[in-house]
Structure 1
């Protein structure tokens, strides 16, 4: 079995890691920006408002989250829209792209608890089912969860009978590896179909996404497993490395029960979107993006409304988002547009 098929089964199969309700945060396997501070969603909401006020999108556009987990990010955005420009809640349409029924139910219940009947949340199973005139898309850490191939020169990784081994690349992977200019590392073949689908689902959009990775080619493997806030390099869980570098566990121990992920190669992502006729509007570190979106102004508003102690507590959470030694530099923001003159 090619590694991409194995990873797809691991994450999205019948018992896959993301198919079931998972806890993110202190009690789960890893943290995300969403689980760190609601001001992550608040900053994106401020960006949405700015995009509407600039005239690129209208007040009646769709706001669509892809890969929403419990729906916290979209809910945080709605809370800040209510604070900053409440009249937009009467005109915007909120949508979550979610393939799994269990997650849809969880999201609906959370929105019901948070907003009652004030917000009407719509669901679609996939982007292929979604069409509209204009939209603001948002996603946090979705591209690192696209299945990938692992390639090394003219070989690719396979999994058979619980063993990992390299063998000759097939023609499709060979062609794409040459096209992307990669000789060693992760090669995702899903970016292009995703970008092509997004390009055709609406006439005009802005898509803001955050993920960890770099624009430059690393020419090395970053695939790893997160379990209970421990990080395991994938190859250290195989017999493909010398014995002194191996972990005591085998990768099969973590199959479907832990997250498996890798660094996003943003140059590959940009190539996929540009190939579909979409424009790379902006790219920066998470720290710079959140400040540019208006995080500082939101903190000034917070300082006026809460006690010094409450402000300090929230500021400490926000530091995790923007501190270069935590998420600030490691995570990147990419913004794509369709319909820009």
Structure 2
């Protein structure tokens, strides 16, 4: 195993455990690993995504992913009555590649919308701002930056669309286990230079309430994750969005499948240099820690907040309905050789194919606020488009 110096962050977490009576909820441990200022996985310099990072997203497969989101954003603007100004917010903007692909598409497809919009980037790692400026060099007059606290606090008010790609899976989660004595939470304790786990009564009644709201009963011995931060984040988004849409791309399931008996050990995984790891207590701050998204809770909490489900489904259905075949034909027409055309087909298949591709692993949820019966591209029956 490659040796990585994680002693600074490890020491901070050990001190925190000591200060809090000898243990902290796993959610607090995960928060430190991912977001401790300057030391966490997402708050320290370094490329996380792509060949030089630890994992790929749909953005890295082909720019057509961003173009299709751009197509849908153009339709959103139209069904809203073409409001001006129109604000896009990308939460978890990373290096800005998706933002650039979206803006390239909007500029080409709808110059009137492009002239009226501002894209606000929200990113936890401030050092990425310079990389974003370089990637978005052609669009800087349309781009602004905001702190995540403004979104969580509800002070970033706007009309338009907030979109995110693989953001919610990175929120710190509580880990729970069903025991013969009832629901117990996983706490993290210090064990020499390392860490150990301890099961005890939940740190908050919200954990048991979470399962009651979605009518889920865990099996004896079943361990899983509860993402309370996803609800808090959505609450902030609902306060900020005056009218428009929230578009969420992530891997996950509806709650009956996410918390079904077939998942005895939950979905918590770590990623390090394109390999899957199962031990979150190694390489502290140097590996990604994620869990699958509970889309049922996002839909139910959204309804309570005035964010009504407009569409939910697999990524391949969204992309096909948004115009993937049109984009494919245009790319093939522009290709100089048959070899290049074959390469394009193979690359785009990864976005839509199941079983090794991203087509059904990733889901897309579109929620609307103050827009009645929106007729979006993703709502078309793509099977009848050809």
TM-score (norm 1): 0.88
Which of the residues 162, 165, 176 maps onto 1:151? 176
Deviation by residue 1:113-153 (Cα, 9 ceiling, x = unmatched): xx175x43101102136534411111001110111111112
Give, in angstroms, the shift of residue 58 of structure 1. Answer: 2.5
Give, in angstroms, the shift of residue 61 of structure 1. Answer: 0.7
Change (3 A) 1:268 1:103: same
Change (3 A) 1:315 1:283: same
SS in 2 for 1:6: helix
Query: What is the RMSD of the two structures over their aligned residues, measured on CA atoms?
Result: 1.9
Between 1:146-155 and 1:50-59, the stretch displaced more is: 50-59
1:317 maps onto 2:347 in alignment:
yes
Residue 79 (structure 1) aligns with? 104
Give, in angstroms, the shift of residue 280 of structure 1. Answer: 0.9
**How many aligned positions are there?**
322
Give, in angstroms, the shift of residue 213 of structure 1. Answer: 1.1
Give, in angstroms, the shift of residue 54 of structure 1. Answer: 2.7
- 8 Å Cα contact 1:280/1:334 also seen in 2: yes
Residues 1-80 of structure 1: matches in 2 within 5 Å?
Answer: 1-14=24-37, 15-20=39-44, 21-55=46-80, 58=83, 60-80=85-105
Residue 267 (structure 2) aligns with? 222
Which of the residues 252, 256, 272 maps onto 1:213? 252
**Aligned-partner Cα distance in 2 for 1:195–1:207:** 9
Give, in angstroms, the shift of residue 59 of structure 1. Answer: 5.3
Change (3 A) 1:180 1:59: same
Between 1:306-315 and 1:23-32, the stretch displaced more is: 306-315
1:178 maps onto 2:178 in alignment:
no
**Aligned-partner Cα distance in 1 for 2:163–2:54:** 23
Residues 296-307 of structure 1: matches in 2 within 5 Å?
Answer: 296-307=325-336
- 8 Å Cα contact 1:99/1:124 also seen in 2: no
Q: Displaced runs of 4+ in structure 1, greater than 4 A?
A: none
- 8 Å Cα contact 2:316/2:353 also seen in 1: yes
1:333 maps onto 2:364 in alignment:
yes
TM-score (norm 2): 0.78
Which of the residues 211, 224, 228 maps onto 1:189? 228
- 8 Å Cα contact 1:3/1:150 also seen in 2: yes
SS in 1 for 2:228: coil
**Aligned-partner Cα distance in 2 for 1:302–1:88:** 24
Residue 383 (structure 2) aligns with? none
Any stretches of 5+ residues in structure 1 without a counterpart?
238-250
Give, in angstroms, the shift of residue 324 of structure 1. Answer: 1.1
**Aligned-partner Cα distance in 2 for 1:150–1:44:** 33
- 8 Å Cα contact 1:192/1:272 also seen in 2: yes
Give, in angstroms, the shift of residue 260 of structure 1. Answer: 0.6
Change (3 A) 1:116 1:264: closer
**Aligned-partner Cα distance in 2 for 1:282–1:54:** 15
